[in-house]
Chain A
Amino acid sequence: MRRRDFLKAGGAGLVGSTVFSISGLTMLSPGNANAATVSFNLTAEGTYKTLVDGVSVYVWQFIDTNSTGPGALTSGLVVKEGDAVSVTVNNNLDRNIRFSIPGVSMSSTRTISPGSSRTYSFTAPAAGSYLYTDNVNGELSRAMGLAGPMVVMTTNGSNNLYSGGPVFDRQYTLFMSELDDRLNAAVQAGGSYNMANYEPNYYFANGLSYPDTKSNSDTLIAMSVGEDVAIRFINGGAITYPMHFHGYHVNVASRNRIIEKNVIEKDTVQVERGECVDVILPVAQAGTYPLHTHYVPGVSANGVYAKGGLVLMSAA
């Protein structure tokens, strides 16, 4: 099973007795709940991304060829609560960076100078959704793409969003981001860019824009009537994402791992910058419905609709 399949795997795959070996990550069966030691190797790199309209843009990425993220993301971390995790980061960029996961304390808070590497260790925190990024260069890093998702499963790998929390039949991770091609051009040219002038014109779910999201199994949300589907929104961009569900209301379970006490059914879920929001979607009817940002300019590529942050949910 590829790791990206794991990110959206249904219950049967998770609670079975199978031992999954994914990208150096050993998922043990519930019968053996000992914490694992897992390691990742990320390279921060300047690279080129071809956008939905064919334009090529210079971006920064964390690249892990063994542990690519969902969709077109070049990295992603999946661990279990309590795992001993080490992340080695190689810095091929032209400036200092520091690996950071808001809400997680690291063995080191030192930066990595260009051309060098550093290993950061931590104990996998409470089950939930997390964002990792560089925290030296502020929002510029997220605007350039230097961020990714971390999903922490419960200690025994159960289908709970968190220990004792809501149970899901399937889960999907939607990492939302965007770019302003003027910023990318300035950084590529070695210049700087005032984030106050940041006005994105391309938008992504897991690095893909609609209609490309339709043809990727991580961004085509396949589900069945009667299921409870977990959707993890991880805002890796530098704008807010008001995510609107057609066809369904969802229950907001947690925001940045803080359990939402005032549980209500929402059809539009605001996801703040850097925020991780986990929701449960009870699949109440069959059909194919969009899920998109209601900042509707975000459903376009340089102004052309609907080539943006829109995915389809399809319920049989």
Chain B
Amino acid sequence: MFNKFQEIYIMSAHRGGGGGTATPPPTTTGGRAFTFLRAPTTVTAQMNGSAALADGASISTWYFSNGGGFNGDRTVPSPVIEANQGEQVAITLSSMMPHTIHLHGLDVDQQNDGVPATSFEVTGSYTYRFTATHAGTFMYHCHVDTNKHMEMGMFGTIIIRPSNGSTTQAWDNGSVFDKEYLWQLTTHDSTWHSGMGGGGSNLARYRPDYFMINGKDGANTITDSATAITASAGQKVLVRIVGTSYMPGIIRMGSLPFEVIASDGRPLVQPYITTEQMCAAGERYDILLTMPSSGQYTGGIEYRNIRNTDALGTVTTTITVA
């Protein structure tokens, strides 16, 4: 042990799942800005969705549904699924066509990893099972012809709550918050959504032309109640950032500083305060925003090209002190 990566052992103090005793949840009432499904639950693969874009156009979408996609009012992203740390989680996929659920970041076993090459495609129904070992922010998405299926919208967020189920604490003995938002970073290349199923060389180059948070772009994002942050002066707002776009995004809360407290479902050893944070494809960042005394601010995501540091497109929303 002495010769090992010593920080790993320092980290264990921050880890959950080790049988530690969780503190009682704070009494403040939590406030999600989004609806969710409580595991165990079932989602159905859908290949007949559509998404309304701010320019009046509409694109076809594929997604997972349980009475609707994200927030119940849009197809993409797919619904948020929640469970508690320590639970045996069961998520059933029902599908007419071959799809899977990859439980991104949850370190599940091979059988439940949702990768066709190392497990199997699901036509019909399969219940994915895993133990939730760490509270935090995770992702799920289809892993069949992933470049196409994921871009079409077959993705959502999984939130693992602390052992006691608190909705005002990020992990056992972790940061507390008053309100909670989820920003799922998504971009679309509209040409990938046209035609029947795509595939082949038309998928050779990814050129996103719509830049979104939670499946809304342009003016729709500015007013979207699932995305636009409203809280009282001094309240702590947890924003879970999920890097679902293939392109990295720079997170900004206007000029407001925020604290980065966790990434990829693990608390940071050294949380830090910044005014911008990059979130690459597949990453998650949990950030804590303490609301200033007054005012309205413009936050959002600046998507960057993986090729260089050029901005590809920007999406903004409002941060309002109520």
Contacts and interface: CB of A to CB of B under 8 A. Distances in A.
Interface stretch (B89-97, B109-117, B251-259, B312-320): B109-117
B193 interface: no
A201 to B, nearest CB: 4
B118 A312 contact: yes
Nearest to B145: A305
A263 B7 contact: yes
A248 B264 contact: no
Contacts of B110: 247, 287-289
A175 to B, nearest CB: 18
B104 A289 contact: no
Interface residues of A, number: 47
B204 interface: yes
A166 B4 contact: yes
A100 interface: no
Given A166-B4, A201-B204, A270-B280, A303 B199 contact: yes
A244 B8 CA distance: 20
A98 B281 CA distance: 34
A280 B248 contact: no
Interface in B136-180: 145-148, 150-151
A285 B281 CA distance: 25
B297 interface: no
Interface residues on B, range: 35 or more
B273 interface: no
A198 B28 CA distance: 52
A131 to B, nearest CB: 18
Given A238-B307, A262-B269, A270-B248, A288 B280 contact: no
A295 B304 CA distance: 12
A246 interface: yes
Contact of A268 (B147, B269, B278, B283): B283
Contacts of B102: 246
A94 interface: no
A294 interface: yes
Contacts of A294: 243, 246, 280-282
Nearest to B205: A199
Interface string B247-271: 1100000000000000111111110
A199 to B, nearest CB: 5
Contact of A263 (B11, B105, B280): B11
Q: Give me the 9 closest cross-chain CB pairs, A-B, nearest first.
A: A294-B282, A287-B110, A303-B203, A303-B204, A268-B282, A263-B7, A242-B280, A294-B281, A270-B280
Interface of B: 3-5, 7-8, 10-11, 102, 104-105, 107-110, 113, 115, 117-118, 145-148, 150-151, 199-207, 243, 246-248, 263-270, 272, 278, 280-283, 306-307
20 contacts: A199-B205, A199-B307, A249-B266, A267-B105, A268-B282, A280-B5, A282-B8, A287-B113, A287-B118, A289-B110, A294-B246, A294-B282, A295-B246, A295-B281, A295-B306, A296-B147, A296-B150, A303-B200, A304-B199, A305-B147
